[in-house]
A and B are shown apart, each in its own frame.
Chain A
């Protein structure tokens, strides 16, 4: 790791100032991707601004309209174990409980995960399927607008995610096929019945990051069953291909995981 300066922010505006004052600063929100990358000398930020100790962006609140707001600095283990999340969006709690290993789940945060938008990260599938709203220190985004490509988001350089609001939904479930080595998603499918209809979002498989499966959504609107999606697969042309899975294999996994998610949804 190259030398870097660590700063612990106590408020969001404090963090924004620190970032502005740094030569080449990076926001740190759990560091489960950034720190290993720095250890491999593949990233060399001059300053790290730690968001994890900002009280105002941590914690989970069930709001009066039934939606759930998760502060950006909330770790995965807290989401997985939260009673309100488990009751309202069990698929989201399950998803959080399958991220990495216990160490990762106690360090990694929802804000850090979505701001990084790793194409194999789990959260983007939930946000996209559930039509979540991403709140920052400047504005709000819909999930659809937020994730713009592999490791790319609509965030400005100096913008800080403060929270994610998940509207109510039913029949939420997440099925993930993990990469045998890294245990990141090779295909992770989140399904939900939302006020806007059935939603299916896929992470880990696509060349451009998280994506929706409109054909599956249509089929599920008419018939919420595993059989409804059994014959539907994304085009292999748009799938990732690597040592662990060809694009054809990933396309197959999307169908299989979608079936399993629907079957598990309740």
Chain B
């Protein structure tokens, strides 16, 4: 390991500009003659639009244009797509309703874009948007997914009878039923996963520019995957052909999945810029973010676990209804199917699993991938069931997990995934030791003496990351391949630019990716720059989500580095008249093994570009690219244990201790990984204790600001204790598994298992808000017990 290589806690190179206020975000970019867009949005959850009157708005100061969906359709702008085809169990393709960037006939959720105003200032645009008069004919709305499936429920889309998008299954139903018929014990639970609103620090934004002389568009936007955005915008929305569209995602202030998707606003800005003949910028305000950023989760599940007489799991049956909101967002279909049910085996050897998922339209904001995407929902179901089953059979929860752990690898689950490596007992043991699990009984006694209720909860999670082998996802319906590309460009003086298709929006790629190069070549990270987020600079890429940038993105860089090293060795061997096989690279030098002959990396790079003395037939230059397509998912796993104390007077839950023991495989920068875990844990604890998107029965979002949507604050979470155990991932050259989502995936069941343990109850929904916990205490007569 070099000082800045793999495993070093290198301070983040990007932080200097972030913490000094010099980051360059989409909203910081300005252009001459730039106009501002403001959207007219539906105030109704479900209504037919009778008319849109723009007369008053057009007369307002500074207004350039008021554009609506009729004009958008007339200009040939395509409907918004969903990039993953799911087939129902009867073989029929999913039922997808038409989704237009600007809706002119029927609105289906509050906040849906109807028209866009372009004006000289943001203020003028917003004033004019308010002056557009939309005449609505109210239609009945349906908010909850279970209600939407009921006979007589309001119908959203003619294409989806009964609001059913698909009725999908995975696993062997008959075999699983047989396991239940022969079970010694069955645990059954109704489990909900609450709806969340992503809330990245930077709201979405877009700045579109059309150059008529070149017929060329440029789009600055808050994207986690600018190349995917360009592909979709050109191939499906007919805004421009790919070679005439440059998409730049500059500094992006957090995404958590919500910036994967191509939203109506980006499409509308690109379309409007040509029509109005000036650059058009839109920046979401926080209310728009609450209303229109794709939400996360929102499942109702019924889960059943079958055990034999030895308490071994013999079957797992899960029926889930997933609320996808009013329209299908870009990857919405995959989240409650292949990103969810494929993880229902958890860390356990379960011979029979059957999952049935119904995806449903409702009059709510579209739901799509949010940190973890399907895997938190799966983990929550699995780990709530494991904890409950253990208590029902009277076995310590850790022991019940232990006897059911998968212990041999590779392991083929009944739900597609082939786990490649892991040691689940190691992380369970590590977490139990650190939290002093054995001392819990004594700590509980102390709490009881103080009139408090104390509980402890375990969660053993597994996730599928490193998304994803292209052929495999293609066979499951994905519209894209999920490889990654990289280019390593060595300059003539030996400094390096790495171009990557991954996108950093908080992950620290500019540091970790440079560390990989530093590790390989022995160069300081200062001489290595990471270039990303611009389709003109980076040829192609699939972007950042699904904890893939390390396992997939860095593997592509490693492959490109292999090629750079090979060529550099050839040049060095030629110059030093040595055999290529005797050249070793390290410490910024190329040496002839066992001699003192060496050249600096700079000298070799310079030789590659002067080309005065290269091996016969060799092209000048030192620049190599690579595409890396993973052969399997990666499987980060770990054990989280949460210990809580409940105040029975108020229902306040305080997290007294939280231990996370993760196996991420190889870790490039432990400091950055810890930061990722901390952030993920806070989001998971947020879901478990605080966050909850709520609509009223008319479909108005009640939690549309921080006055009502409870974002976690520093004081809501404890200091975390982090441990790592390591089994290297055999599937990629660096042995990496990914760490971005683990915290959000593993923590909610740990918290709820702890709270239910404290209260001595079996069932409860998230979030464990003070009122909810207090009510459970009243309903279960627990207060007297505590006193």
Cβ-closest chain B residue relative to A2: B127
Cβ-closest chain B residue relative to A1: B123
Q: Does A244 make an interface contact (CB < 8 A)?
A: yes
**Contact, CB under 8 Å: A249 / B706:** no
Give, as a whole number of angstroms, the nearest-CB distance from A118 to chain B. Answer: 11
Q: Does A222 make an interface contact (CB < 8 A)?
A: no
B contact residues, range: 20 to 34
Contacts of A1 in B (CB 8 A): 123
Interface-facing stretch out of B81-89, B215-223, B602-610, B766-774 = B766-774
Contact of A177 with B690 at beta-carbon distance under 8 Å, contacts A40-B287, A245-B771, A249-B774 already known: no
* Option from A3, A180, A246, A249 in Cβ contact (under 8 Å) with B690: A180
**Contact, CB under 8 Å: B706 / A182:** yes
Contacts of B705 in A (CB 8 A): 40
Interface-facing stretch out of B462-470, B707-715, B739-747 = B707-715
Cβ-closest chain A residue relative to B709: A181
Contacts of A182 in B (CB 8 A): 706-708
Contact with B along A1-26 (1 / 0, CB 8 A): 11100000000000000000000000
Q: Does A116 make an interface contact (CB < 8 A)?
A: no
The residues in A between 231 and 245 inclusive whose CB is less than 8 angstroms from any CB of B are: 243-245
**Contact, CB under 8 Å: A3 / B709:** no
**Contact, CB under 8 Å: B708 / A256:** no
Contact of A180 with B770 at beta-carbon distance under 8 Å, contacts A243-B694, A249-B775, A253-B650 already known: yes
A contact residues, range: 10 to 19
> With A and B bound together, what is the CA distance between A181 and B694 in angstroms?
13
**Contact, CB under 8 Å: B130 / A181:** no
Contact with B along A161-181 (1 / 0, CB 8 A): 000000000000000010011
| Residue from A1, A177, A252 whose CB has the most chain B CB atoms within 10 Å | A252
Cβ-closest chain A residue relative to B774: A249
**Contact, CB under 8 Å: B702 / A243:** yes
Give, as a whole number of angstroms, the nearest-CB distance from A188 to chain B. Answer: 13
> With A and B bound together, what is the CA distance between A243 and B772 in angstroms?
10
**Contact, CB under 8 Å: A181 / B708:** yes
Q: Does A41 make an interface contact (CB < 8 A)?
A: yes
Contact of A181 with B771 at beta-carbon distance under 8 Å, contacts A3-B123, A40-B287, A243-B703 already known: no
> With A and B bound together, what is the CA distance between A256 and B451 in angstroms?
14
Contacts of B703 in A (CB 8 A): 181, 243
Q: Does B649 make an interface contact (CB < 8 A)?
A: yes
> With A and B bound together, what is the CA distance between A180 and B768 in angstroms?
11
Contact with A along B693-709 (1 / 0, CB 8 A): 01000000011011111
**Contact, CB under 8 Å: A41 / B130:** yes
* Option from B126, B287, B711, B771 in Cβ contact (under 8 Å) with A249: B771
The residues in A between 1 and 57 inclusive whose CB is less than 8 angstroms from any CB of B are: 1-3, 40-41
Contact of A181 with B770 at beta-carbon distance under 8 Å, contacts A243-B694, A253-B650, A256-B649 already known: no
The residues in B between 501 and 515 inclusive whose CB is less than 8 angstroms from any CB of A are: none
Contact of A243 with B708 at beta-carbon distance under 8 Å, contacts A40-B287, A180-B770 already known: yes
Contacts of B650 in A (CB 8 A): 177, 252-253, 256
Give, as a whole number of angstroms, the nearest-CB distance from A125 to chain B. Answer: 18
Contacts of A41 in B (CB 8 A): 126, 130
| Residue from A180, A182, A252 whose CB has the most chain B CB atoms within 10 Å | A180
Contacts of A180 in B (CB 8 A): 690, 710, 769-770
**Contact, CB under 8 Å: A246 / B771:** yes
Contacts of B123 in A (CB 8 A): 1, 3
The residues in B between 98 and 123 inclusive whose CB is less than 8 angstroms from any CB of A are: 123
Give, as a whole number of angstroms, the nearest-CB distance from B413 to chain A. Answer: 38
Contacts of A253 in B (CB 8 A): 650
Contacts of A256 in B (CB 8 A): 649-650
> With A and B bound together, what is the CA distance between A40 and B291 in angstroms?
14
Contact of A252 with B690 at beta-carbon distance under 8 Å, contacts A180-B769, A182-B706 already known: no
Contacts of B770 in A (CB 8 A): 177, 180, 245, 249
**Contact, CB under 8 Å: A252 / B774:** yes
**Contact, CB under 8 Å: B707 / A181:** yes
**Contact, CB under 8 Å: A181 / B710:** yes
Give, as a whole number of angstroms, the nearest-CB distance from A195 to chain B. Answer: 32
Give, as a whole number of angstroms, the nearest-CB distance from A232 to chain B. Answer: 14
> With A and B bound together, what is the CA distance between A179 and B644 in angstroms?
20
Contact with B along A246-266 (1 / 0, CB 8 A): 100100110010000000000
Give, as a whole number of angstroms, the nearest-CB distance from A42 to chain B. Answer: 11
> With A and B bound together, what is the CA distance between A40 and B771 in angstroms?
29
Contacts of A2 in B (CB 8 A): 127
> With A and B bound together, what is the CA distance between A245 and B774 in angstroms?
10
The residues in B between 447 and 467 inclusive whose CB is less than 8 angstroms from any CB of A are: none
Contacts of A181 in B (CB 8 A): 690, 703, 706-711
> With A and B bound together, what is the CA distance between A181 and B774 in angstroms?
17
> With A and B bound together, what is the CA distance between A180 and B652 in angstroms?
10
Contact of A244 with B769 at beta-carbon distance under 8 Å, contacts A181-B708, A182-B706 already known: yes
> With A and B bound together, what is the CA distance between A3 and B703 in angstroms?
27
> With A and B bound together, what is the CA distance between A28 and B130 in angstroms?
26
Give, as a whole number of angstroms, the nearest-CB distance from A64 to chain B. Answer: 42
Cβ-closest chain B residue relative to A252: B774
Give, as a whole number of angstroms, the nearest-CB distance from A106 to chain B. Answer: 19
> With A and B bound together, what is the CA distance between A244 and B651 in angstroms?
12
The residues in B between 645 and 662 inclusive whose CB is less than 8 angstroms from any CB of A are: 649-651
> With A and B bound together, what is the CA distance between A2 and B769 in angstroms?
37
Contacts of B775 in A (CB 8 A): 246, 249
| Residue from B130, B709, B771 whose CB has the most chain A CB atoms within 10 Å | B771
Contacts of B130 in A (CB 8 A): 41
Contacts of A249 in B (CB 8 A): 651, 770-771, 774-775
Cβ-closest chain B residue relative to A3: B123
Contacts of B649 in A (CB 8 A): 252, 256
Cβ-closest chain A residue relative to B647: A256
> With A and B bound together, what is the CA distance between A243 and B705 in angstroms?
13
> With A and B bound together, what is the CA distance between A21 and B710 in angstroms?
42
Cβ-closest chain A residue relative to B691: A181
Contacts of B774 in A (CB 8 A): 249, 252
> With A and B bound together, what is the CA distance between A253 and B123 in angstroms?
43
Give, as a whole number of angstroms, the nearest-CB distance from A99 to chain B. Answer: 15
> With A and B bound together, what is the CA distance between A195 and B552 in angstroms?
74
Contacts of A244 in B (CB 8 A): 708, 769, 771
Contacts of B702 in A (CB 8 A): 243
Give, as a whole number of angstroms, the nearest-CB distance from B534 to chain A. Answer: 34
Give, as a whole number of angstroms, the nearest-CB distance from B766 to chain A. Answer: 13
> With A and B bound together, what is the CA distance between A71 and B705 in angstroms?
33
Give, as a whole number of angstroms, the nearest-CB distance from A151 to chain B. Answer: 15
For this complex, 11 residue pairs linking A to B, each with C-beta atoms less than 8 Å apart, are: A40-B287, A41-B130, A177-B650, A180-B769, A180-B770, A181-B710, A182-B706, A182-B707, A182-B708, A244-B771, A249-B775
Q: Which residue numbers of A lie inside 8 Å of B, CB to CB?
A: 1-3, 40-41, 177, 180-182, 243-246, 249, 252-253, 256
Nearest first, the 8 closest Cβ-Cβ pairs linking A and B are: A181-B710, A182-B707, A256-B649, A180-B710, A249-B771, A245-B771, A181-B708, A249-B774
7 more A-B contacts (CB under 8 A) besides A182-B708, A249-B774? A2-B127, A180-B690, A181-B708, A182-B706, A243-B703, A249-B771, A252-B650
